[in-house]
Amino acid sequence: MTIKGKPTSLDIAHRAGVSQPTVSRALRGHPSVNPETRDRILAIARELNYKVDKNASNLRRQQSGTLALLLFEDPTTDQSHINPFFLPMLGSITRACARHGQDLLISFQQLSDDWHADYGDSHKADGLILLGYGDYLAYQGKLRTLVEQGTQFVRWGAVLPDQPGISIGCDNANGGALVGEHLAGIGCRRIAFLGDASSRYPEFLDRYRGCEAALSAHGLAMDPRLQVDAESAEGSGHAAATELLRRGHPFDAVFAASDLIAIGAMQAFSAAGLRIPDDVAVVGFDDIPAARMTTPALTTVVQDTLTAGELLVDTLMHLVHGEPAESLRLPTTLVVRDSTAKARAG
């Protein structure tokens, strides 16, 4: 009996009176092992609290049994301000990994870091899940490198034509359309957009265009003078709203590209003496927990983060196993709260 250290398959083999490979087979449920032998081995393994050494197993099998989650932090915020939107997704990703028998490595990264060549090459992970906002143009090049290296990955974000790799995202255009419909329906006519609606932020751009399309069905249009760039952060939303006010063009509603932007904007509007929703209706995107807490509570677009997490992992596992997989858009829904509770005029 080995006194010190973890038991190995050889320890079990000695006790069971079989060879070490037989122990390995029994433990992995190989069908060729005699049922009685197998039961004896399993009993001993349980008794010794034996666990297969992952490093040895992975080395031999040339795989890791591990996925890596890379969460990109907004480089503009110095503190660790991960968008709370990702928290439930994180939960469903970890659960999905457990279901697939995969371990999950996690790492917070700056988009500028040299993250793209690390996990795959060192055999630490079989596949990558990429989460987080950031300038897509900067992102894209690294995604291409990943594809060239043969690294398996899935990304949360906009589903775009000709994009490198596979991504899962919500149907941003439809989400934007829901917002446009709603705002037009309550009689809003001049709708401002707070968010960088360019190809640097394809998700925001899709939301913008979706809203635009819905408005045009009502004979309305987005006014470029009412669009102010913003990244997904409260401070950025506050600044954008302030800029919008400074411009002096009239508006009766604001579609913020994310809840964090909306929250910052609401603070700026309140400070400026504007009443929400009477002077300006406000809509966000994401339905983070704080959206319920604001005064008034924020109307916003809900993304199914729980399904999203599962889908990210399921899709990545397909890729890892060499099976076909494709990008996917998840449906969105609008949740109407008091920030757009105007008397219906349209």
Partner DNA sequence: CTGAAAGCGCTTACAG
Give the footprint of DNA on this chain (CB under 7 A): 5-6, 8-10, 17-22, 24-25, 27-28, 31-35, 37-38, 50, 52-53, 56-57, 59-62
Given CA atoms 161, 167, 172, 174 in this order, what sign does their dihedral have?
Answer: positive
Q: How far is the CB of 261 from its own copies (least distance, A)?
A: 14
For 300, the token pair is 């916003």
Q: Of 218, 197, 217, 216, which Cα lies nearest the Cα of 207?
A: 197
Q: Pick from 106, 160, 325, 328: which binds its own copies (CB under 8 A)?
A: 106
Of 34 and 112, CB closest to DNA: 34
In DSSP notation, 72-131 reads EEPTT-SS----TTHHHHHHHHHHHHHHTT-EEEEEEEETTSS-TTTTTTTTS-SEEEEE
State which of positions 42-61 bind its own copies (CB under 8 A). Answer: 49-56, 58-59
Based on the shown chain and the rule CB under 8 A, indicate whether residue 88 belongs to the binding site for its own copies.
yes
Residue 46 interacts, among DNA, its own copies, none and using kind-specific CB cut-offs from 5 to 8 Å, with: none
Least Cβ distance, residue 320 to its own copies (angstroms) = 16
Distance CA 63, CA 166 (A): 21
The site partner of 22 among its own copies, DNA, none (C-beta below 5 to 8 Å per kind) is DNA
Identify residues 285-314 at the interface with its own copies (CB under 8 A).
289-290, 293-295, 306
- Residues 327/295, Cβ–Cβ less than 8 Å: no
Interface of this chain with its own copies, residues 123 to 182, rule: CB under 8 A:
123-124
For its own copies, which is the closer residue by CB, 177 or 291? 291
Nearest residue (CB) to its own copies, 42 versus 160: 42
Among 91-99, 211-219, 238-246, 324-332, the segment contacting its own copies (CB under 8 A): 91-99
Nearer to DNA, 52 or 330 (CB): 52
Instruction: Report the partner that residue 79 touches, choosing among its own copies, DNA, none (CB closer than 5 to 8 A by kind).
Output: its own copies
Residue 318 engages its own copies in binding (rule: CB under 8 A)? no
Tokens read off for 344: 């219906």
Judged by CB under 8 A, the residue of 118, 135, 314, 338 near its own copies is 118
Query: Residue 116 to residues 83, 144, 147, 148, 322: CA-CA distances in angstroms?
Result: 22, 10, 10, 11, 20
77 in contact with its own copies (CB under 8 A):
no
208 within 8 A of 173, measured Cβ to Cβ: no
Q: E strand or H helix at 329, and its extent?
A: strand 328-330
180: which 2 tokens? Answer: 């446009």
Least Å distance, CB 114 to DNA, is: 19
Structure tokens of 15?
Answer: 């006790």
Min CB(102)–DNA separation in Å: 15
Backbone angles phi, psi at 115, to 5 degrees: -85, -20
The residue type of 205 is L
Closest CB to its own copies among 88 and 187?
88
Using the minimum distance from each CB to its own copies, give the nearer residue, 14 or 124. 124
What tokens does 129 get?
């899940």
CA distance 18 to 12: 8
Q: Which does residue 145 touch among DNA, its own copies, none (CB within 5 to 8 A, set by kind)? A: none
* CA-to-CA separations, 91 to 95, 117, 232, 332, in angstroms, rounded: 6, 26, 21, 20
Instruction: Rank residues 130 and 197 by Cβ distance to its own copies and give the closer one.
Output: 130
Return residues touching its own copies (CB under 8 A): 6, 49-56, 58-59, 64, 66, 69, 73, 79-82, 84, 87-88, 90-92, 94-95, 98, 103-108, 117-118, 121-124, 263, 289-290, 293-295, 306
